[in-house]
Structure 1
Amino acid sequence: MTKPIRVWMAPPGPNPWKVVFVLEELQIPYEIVSFKFDDVKKKPFTDLNPNGRVPAIEDPNTDLVLWESGAIIQYLVEQYDTSNTLTYTTLKEKHHVSQWLHFQMSGQGPYWGAAGWFNVLHPEKIPSAIERYNEQVKRVLGVLDGWLEGKQWLVGDKMTYADLAFVPWNDRLDATIMCAPEDKFAGFPNVGAWHERMISRPSWKKCMETRARLMDEQGLMWNGMPKGMASFQEYEAKIAAGEDTSAKE
């Protein structure tokens, strides 16, 4: 019997949910170790991931500790997707799926993260930075939208782990670029339809129910800050000073 894979995460960020989404799709047993963002640079987590970023996994079935969400996803598929539900065995398709995952890791994730920082979290509004990263978001969406023209999925005729990897960042795009939810894919209809196909899946709905519960347990708002915290800078200052960052009623 497969023992549950332990997923270490601070629940606000998108990257852990890429891994959980894949685990749910493949019905691999797992358990979540949820901890506060304050502790990502501290032991015991840095014993698992010296880079202090979530997620990381511990797989008791193979005695493997692994970090970096893309590497984790590829490991899970290689080790546990024995029926190739989320990948291909044919040469071109197999590597094209890997290619799109790398594009998610190098293109979507960093640009969405930077856009979110300058739009929402940075203490000063820097128009040039906001414009740059919002434009990069649109550029990446344009790449995806053009590729998806006439297609249901990124590679071949089925959903793969590459499609799944884009969902958590895309799902919060409206909050990232501060637009109305219905406008986040404006001008990119193929991306919008593709995204809807995936978030309608029971596996995604379960992921978001779990996230909501874990966020509530820590008293967190959507952006990861405790309820009642005025700014990310206040949050970081309290963390640096070793102060209690629990939500204030």
Structure 2
Amino acid sequence: MSHGKQFTLYSHYGGPNGWKVAHVLDELKLTYETVYLKFDKQEQKGPEFTKLNPNGRIPALVDHHNNDFVIWESDAIILYVADKYDKEKRISAANEAEKYQIIQWLFFQASGQGPYYGQFFWFFKYHPEKFPSAIDRYKDEILRIFGVLENVLSKQQWLVGNKMTIADLSFVVWNFAAVGAIKDYKGEFDLEKEFPRMAAWHAKLEALPSVKKAIDARTALVKQQ
């Protein structure tokens, strides 16, 4: 079976994790087609998708240039893509030490940023009952993680080495969503005032054509729903 694009990305129009993968694919100028699963129809739990990802969560990526190799979990996907296709090491490690530092940040993103931010969104926006203690707990975790990033970025321009890598790209879409949600919750939130180094780093990432493309596409898709 022939494919016009190198990859098929299974994603969701609103879910941040699929867009993380899109950032990396676009940054490396790799061609892909996105299939947006309909969560209201539970397509992510259906047999067609769980053949690809038994966990029934987005994203999953199929590499048609590698015998239709399938990989899921967003940070595992971007590690795979960078390792295999970033031949010039534009956004991946230049040496072994940097490789493990990138993996360190991807673990932190996957175990800290994503789950805490996701729980905040759930309890603040979607849970049928309001639990202020839960909302405040996860709001405080968002601010704590902002603080971790602020501390590191006060000493260096990027998370690893002296260039942007997939470690930086893994954070941007969740931070983009979180800043807006914190503003909605608190009524007022000045990221540049409270976390100036993190805000400057985030602004540089948002300005990248690869990231801007995804943000614009996501915004348009959300408006269509």
66, 69, 74: which is aligned to 2:71? 66
The answer to whether residue 195 in structure 2 is matched with residue 193 in structure 1 is no
Per the normalisation by structure 1, the TM-score is: 0.82
Aligned pair in 2 of structure 1 residues 94, 186: CA closer, same or farther (>3 Å)? Answer: same
Q: Could you tell me how far 1:214 is from its partner in structure 2?
A: 3.3
Match of 1:98 in 2: 103
The answer to whether residue 25 in structure 2 is matched with residue 23 in structure 1 is yes
Match of 2:221 in 1: 214
Q: Which has the higher helix share?
A: 2
> Which deviates more, 110-119 or 168-177?
168-177
Q: Could you tell me how far 1:129 is from its partner in structure 2?
A: 0.8
Counterpart-to-counterpart distance in 1, 2:65 and 2:89: 20
Root mean square deviation of aligned Cα: 1.9
174, 189, 197: which is aligned to 1:169? 174
Aligned pair in 2 of structure 1 residues 97, 181: CA closer, same or farther (>3 Å)? Answer: farther
Report the secondary structure of 2:163's partner residue. Answer: coil
Q: Could you tell me how far 1:182 is from its partner in structure 2?
A: 5.7
Report the secondary structure of 1:66's partner residue. Answer: strand
In structure 2, give the amino acid aligned to 1:120: K
Q: Could you tell me how far 1:47 is from its partner in structure 2?
A: 1.5
In structure 1, give the amino acid aligned to 2:125: V
Where structure 1 has 5 or more consecutive residues not aligned to the other structure, the ranges are 221-249
Q: Is the radius of gyration larger for structure 1 or structure 2?
A: 1
Counterpart-to-counterpart distance in 2, 1:105 and 1:206: 23
In structure 1, give the amino acid aligned to 2:97: K
Percentage of matched positions with identical amino acids: 46
Per the normalisation by structure 2, the TM-score is: 0.90
Match of 1:108 in 2: 113
Aligned pair in 2 of structure 1 residues 106, 118: CA closer, same or farther (>3 Å)? Answer: same
Aligned pair in 2 of structure 1 residues 135, 185: CA closer, same or farther (>3 Å)? Answer: farther
The answer to whether residue 83 in structure 2 is matched with residue 78 in structure 1 is yes
Counterpart-to-counterpart distance in 2, 1:185 and 1:205: 20
Aligned pair in 2 of structure 1 residues 171, 179: CA closer, same or farther (>3 Å)? Answer: farther
